[in-house]
């Protein structure tokens, strides 16, 4: 089973206050903004399966898979993620 399922991907969208900016044939593309600038984006696959794999998301938001899971499951906050992004020079 995927580390990041569709269910967790949707939690990440909520957690990062990402905005679905575009719908393509196979994805909804969600972008994350900080202080008016787009700092990351990732695709949410179409499909009703809750376990649909989204293991591409961690790389897109500059996290390890385990950290991305923590982001979806609560322990890591948006502020915590912004701090990580800042430390990695991505802001």
Give the number of residues in contact with other proteins, rule: CB under 8 A.
30
Q: How far is the CB of 74 from other proteins (least distance, A)?
A: 22
The region, left, alpha or beta by phi > 0 then psi within -120 to 50, assigned to residue 74 is left
Minimum CB–partner distance for residue 21 and other proteins (Å) = 5
Q: Is 22 in the site for other proteins (CB under 8 A)?
A: yes
Contacting other proteins within 27-86 (CB under 8 A): 27, 29, 31, 34, 36-41, 43, 45, 53-56, 59-60, 62
Tokens standing for 14? 């909520």
CA angle 57, 43, 70 (to 5 degrees): 30
- The H-assigned helical ranges of 1-90 are 6-15, 57-60, 65-73, 78-87
Contact residues: other proteins, CB under 8 A: 1-3, 21-22, 24-27, 29, 31, 34, 36-41, 43, 45, 53-56, 59-60, 62, 89-91
């Amino acid at each position: 089973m995927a580390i990041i399922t569709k269910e967790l991907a949707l939690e990440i969208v909520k957690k990062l206050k990402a905005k679905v900016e575009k719908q393509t044939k196979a994805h909804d593309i969600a972008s994350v903004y900080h202080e008016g600038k787009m700092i990351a984006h990732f695709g949410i696959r179409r499909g009703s399966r809750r376990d649909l794999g989204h293991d591409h998301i961690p790389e897109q938001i500059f996290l390890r898979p385990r950290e991305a899971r923590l982001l979806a499951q609560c322990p890591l906050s948006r502020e915590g993620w912004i701090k990580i992004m800042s430390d990695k020079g991505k802001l």
